[in-house]
Amino acid sequence: MHAVLAAAQTLKAPDLDYFALAPEIVLTAVLVGILLLDVFVDETRKYLVTQVAGLGLLVSLVPVVALAANGADRSMLGGAYVVDNFALLVKALFLATGYVVLLMSSDYIGEGDYYEGEYSFLLLSSLLGMMVMGSSRDLITIFVALELLSIPAYLLAGWRKRDLRSNEACLKYYLLGVLASAVMLYGMSLIFGATGSTVLRTIGREVGGSVGEEPIVTLGIFFIVVGFAFKVSAVPFHFWAPDTYEGAPTPVTAFLSVASKAAGFVALLQLVYIGFFGREEVWGPLFWVLAALTMTVGNLVALRQTNVVRMLAYSSVAQAGYILVPFAVAGSNPAANATAQTAALVYLLIYAAMNLGAFAIVMAVARKTRSAEISSYGGLFTYAPGLTLLMSVFLFSLAGIPPLAGWFAKLYIFESALDAGTAAAVTLAVVAGLNAVIALFYYSAVAKEMWMRPVPDGDTTPIPVPPALAAALAFTAIVVVAVGVYPQAFARLGDLAQLTLR
């Protein structure tokens, strides 16, 4: 405390760029607004909170677009908080994901007699953390952003308070999440100790120099990568994911498997590309092993699942493995590192759309069948042809069948591995290729159930899809199909949003 107080003597008011902070400021104002709205509005009009929250998300997208149009990179607080194209792209991704999740959940939460106001509040808090994560180029900022996005997510996972499964989902997510962030913090403290700075750019300079040879740096990088491996549910740190995804309310599962995972990858991109790039020989093999294990185990276990949500959970574990491939090959040569970064970003964007879409279908079907067993999807085509078609689109996109978006995403992953050109990278590409084939089995098993099998209970009344859920479906489906047909636009976004090294 003494040294802090002494250092405070020289503290000056920081030079803040309010335009660069505008998306976060707007979102914070919306958060304050919906909290007040929630506590002062009566029980019958809680739906107002959700509406204001949705509107607020759209409003905070406005400054993001304005900043992107302006185009200048803005850096403040000594390089700890940077608003560049990368930050803007991931912020737009998080806001869009948040909006779709809100659309998906508005009826689910409203009908289920849950705490509607608090739900939106926690969802938006978590999104605020993600937005900050997109800009954080400093260990302290990354840590605070990570906790801001995780703590509300722990609570959301346990939203069905009286349901033992939801309790269990919440507990497992919490314990492993907290352990992961504690391990990650220990790694951060070691990195700070070796380099004497918390700003990623300075760390990058030091780690690339002679300090980088110290074993303490290796240990620090190892702990940080392991901590984030928990967050993105990479094997062997994935145990929480299937249980949490099954037990949590379905819209929350969609949110966790897309936004929370994306935030973990965003942090990893920043740490690896700016902070640790000089020590490729430490993190390269680590990511190689994680990627290979995650893809293989995720896909093999997904084959055996009988519950759609659990299958999607393991599928999302496997998808995380594909996103880890570019990390594993990034350090080989300069050309590879540029493609690798684009590949990871593009995959994140496309994965968000297709996974959210698949979960939206699961929710729509569960409204009628009250079940998520794969067998309950039998004969879906006879009474809900539209949903069947969309589900097939999302599943085949996840599998990577052309001309859907997922195909393009996988193509980019392979390209990054082949660009690297080393034996290890090519081996990893082969592993990924084999996995894509395995994955096709379980995705098409669900499709077969929907198109060819008879209806299990003979009940063929159509499924009513509420407008908000339909909007979420339409939005994700359009993205998946449009990107598949016209992929250049997304690739251009990914290229523009490169993180500048050093």
Binding residues (CB under 8 A) for another protein: these are: 1, 3-9, 11-13, 28, 32, 35-36, 38-40, 139-140, 143-144, 147, 151, 154-155, 158, 161-162, 164-165, 167-172, 174-175, 178-179, 181-183, 185-186, 188-190, 192-193, 196-198, 238-243, 246-247
Give the residue with the Cβ less far from another protein, 36 or 478: 36
Cβ-in-10-Å burial (0-12, 13-18, 19+) of 69 comes to exposed
Give the residue with the Cβ less far from another protein, 197 or 416: 197
Which residue spans within 54-186 are E strands per DSSP? 74-76, 81-83
Q: What phi and psi, each to the nearest 5 degrees, are found at residue 428?
A: -60, -40
Cβ–Cβ < 8 Å for 336, 416: yes
Nearest to residue 251, comparing CAs of 126, 433, 403? 126
Give the residue with the Cβ less far from another protein, 173 or 287: 173
Give the residue with the Cβ less far from another protein, 294 or 342: 294
Give the residue with the Cβ less far from another protein, 172 or 368: 172
CB of 280 to another protein, least distance (A): 25
CB of 277 to another protein, least distance (A): 21
Fill in the amino acid letter for 339. T
Would you say the C-alpha torsion 279, 284, 290, 291 has a positive or negative sign? positive
Nearest to residue 390, comparing CAs of 408, 365, 410, 369? 365
CB of 354 to another protein, least distance (A): 24
Q: Which long-range contacts (CB under 8 A, 24 or more apart) does 19-23 make?
A: 19/63, 19/66, 19/67, 19/70, 19/74, 20/67, 20/74, 20/76, 20/81, 20/83, 21/83, 22/63, 22/66, 22/67, 23/60, 23/61, 23/63, 23/64, 23/67, 23/91, 23/95, 23/131
CB of 201 to another protein, least distance (A): 14
Give the residue with the Cβ less far from another protein, 170 or 308: 170
* Angle ∠(435,287,90) on CA atoms, nearest 5: 90
Give the residue with the Cβ less far from another protein, 5 or 489: 5
CB of 221 to another protein, least distance (A): 15
Helix (H) or strand (E) holding 64: helix 47-70
CB of 260 to another protein, least distance (A): 15
**DSSP state, residue 464:** P
Give the residue with the Cβ less far from another protein, 198 or 337: 198
CB of 432 to another protein, least distance (A): 24
CB of 336 to another protein, least distance (A): 33
Nearest to residue 147, comparing CAs of 123, 168, 126? 126
